[in-house]
């Protein structure tokens, strides 16, 4: 039997990981076998830790997006099929990635038609950000978000709890001006509103049939290169009990104080210790606790993952995140046994396949 692949894209911080893990948990509860593939330009991924920590069968493609690392994506998907034989694999591409119809869905439909069926492309759009920042392609980041909406088959309009019903109507009109065929489904991962409607798309037999949209790869590369991409991992061994929530809040506040909220695409930290797990995020001006397992206090063997995607040179971002992490640890009397990190700007996307409708026919 063919495995159904569901691609859930959308800009950094839009709500993809929250939606995917919630849907996977709901479908598993209903007796389905589900697996997840995460993706990032870097390593030591908060999203993969978060998903694994919930007991979800998770793989990740690291060091580049699905389109550029397509053979790795297929390798992971086949590995998951061999290991757990899932009915559905939900895949989250990097938030700055677009042109997914041509570079991921097209190759799956054409080259791997014997193994997979592919669901319609779902793009998650943060309603509060769309309201404040619009969908104009004029700025570089705007170009990416605009293209993501242009190619969407469904727009999952997240964070409906942060805006009014009137705002939702206004954003829906703006989405329709970009892509009149897109079906818009507002939802909230906080209140649960609209969640079942998105779940019904994922857990259906619907397949992708939208043609790829034109794209300027130079602009795409420039837009991605605006972002600094920081990944770090701190390890503590035999730590005495400390407040993990306080540690993460202080680090995120320190990082945020150095940038304007529009520059913070997504900064996220996850701490896993012998006694607890805590994940928190900063998206624009909003700091939120995404999950706490066990108590707020950590002790014993501790791993802290730090991922920040911020409009900045990699040098400046590395310096500001490192200082924030080191100062807060020192201030709380914690000395790391290991601290490794890396910071870069994504290199220009070079998709392994790019299949357009004409070639497909
Ligand atoms: N208020 C609100 N916050 C949300 C919602 N969905 C996700 N978030 C928060 O948005 C932030 C980014 O979510 P995440 O799923 O990591 O986004 P991703 O980068 O697209 O994978 C986290 O702090 C989430 O808790 C939602 O529907 N409402
Ligand atoms: Mg994510």
**Would you say the CB of residue 288 lies under 6 angstroms from ligand 1?**
yes
Is 106's C-beta closer than 6 angstroms to any atom of ligand 1? no
All residues with CB under 5 Å from ion ligand 2: 16-17, 47
pLDDT tens digits, residue range 297-321? 999 999 999 999 999 999 999 999 9
Backbone dihedral region for residue 290 (phi beyond 0: left; psi -120 to 50: alpha; all else: beta):
alpha
pLDDT digits (tens, 9 = 90+) for 60-112: 999 999 999 999 999 999 999 999 999 999 999 999 999 999 999 999 999 99
CATH architecture of the domain 227-344 equals: 2-Layer Sandwich (3.30)
For 201-220, the pLDDT digits (tens) are: 999 999 999 999 999 999 99
The low-confidence residues of the chain, meaning pLDDT below 70, are: 357-361
Q: Which CATH number does 3-223+349-360 carry?
A: 3.40.50.300
Q: Are 302 and 232 in contact (CB under 8 A)?
A: no
Strand partners, 8: 122
pLDDT recorded at residue 38 = 97
Query: Is the shortest distance between the CB of 188 and ligand 1 below 6 Å?
Result: yes
Annotate 109-144 with DSSP letters as a single string: HHTSTTTEEEPPPEEEEEHHHHHHH---SSSHHHHH
Instruction: Return the domain boundaries, the chain.
Output: 3-223+349-360, 227-344
Residue 231 near ligand 1, beta carbon < 6 Å: no
Nearest alpha carbon to residue 95 among 323, 294, 339, 346: 346
Residue 360: predicted pLDDT: 47
pTM higher than 0.85: yes
Measured distance CA(289)–CA(319) in Å, rounded: 25
Query: Which atom of ligand 1 sits closest to the CA of residue 280?
Result: 23
Atom of ligand 1 nearest to the CA of 158: 27
């Amino acid at each position: 039997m063919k495995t159904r692949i569901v691609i859930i894209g959308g800009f950094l911080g839009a709500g993809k990981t929250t939606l995917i893990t919630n849907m996977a948990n709901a479908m598993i509860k209903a007796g389905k076998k589900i697996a997840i593939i995460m993706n990032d330009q870097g390593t030591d991924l908060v999203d993969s830790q978060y998903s694994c920590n919930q007991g979800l069968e998770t793989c990740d493609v690291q060091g580049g997006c699905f389109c550029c690392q397509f053979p790795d994506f297929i390798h992971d998907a086949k590995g998951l099929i061999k290991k757990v034989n899932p009915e559905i694999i939900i895949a989250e591409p990097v938030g700055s990635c677009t042109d997914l119809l041509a570079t991921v869905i097209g190759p799956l439909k054409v080259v791997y038609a014997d193994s997979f069926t592919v669901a319609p492309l779902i793009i998650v759009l943060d309603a509060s950000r769309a309201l404040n920042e619009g969908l104009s392609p004029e700025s570089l980041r705007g170009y990416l978000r605009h293209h993501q909406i242009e190619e969407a088959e469904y727009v999952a309009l997240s964070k409906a709890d942060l805006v009014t019903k009137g705002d939702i109507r206004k954003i829906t009109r703006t989405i329709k001006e970009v892509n009149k065929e897109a079906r818009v489904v507002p939802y909230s991962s906080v209140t649960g509103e609209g969640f079942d409607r998105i779940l019904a798309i994922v857990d259906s037999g619907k397949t992708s049939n939208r043609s790829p949209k034109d794209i300027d790869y130079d602009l795409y590369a420039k837009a991605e290169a605006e972002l600094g991409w920081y990944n770090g991992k701190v390890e503590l061994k035999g730590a005495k009990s400390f407040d993990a929530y306080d540690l993460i809040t202080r680090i995120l506040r320190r990082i945020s104080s150095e940038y304007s909220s529009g520059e913070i695409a997504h900064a996220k930290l996850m701490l896993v210790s012998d006694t607890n797990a805590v994940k928190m995020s900063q998206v624009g001006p909003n700091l939120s606790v995404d999950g706490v397992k066990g108590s707020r206090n950590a002790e014993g063997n501790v791993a802290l993952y730090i991922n920040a995607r911020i409009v900045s040179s990699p040098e400046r971002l590395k310096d500001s995140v490192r200082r924030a992490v080191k100062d807060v640890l020192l201030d709380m009397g914690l000395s790391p046994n290991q601290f490794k990190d890396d910071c870069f700007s994504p290199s220009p996307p070079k998709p392994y396949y790019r299949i357009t409708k004409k070639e497909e026919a």
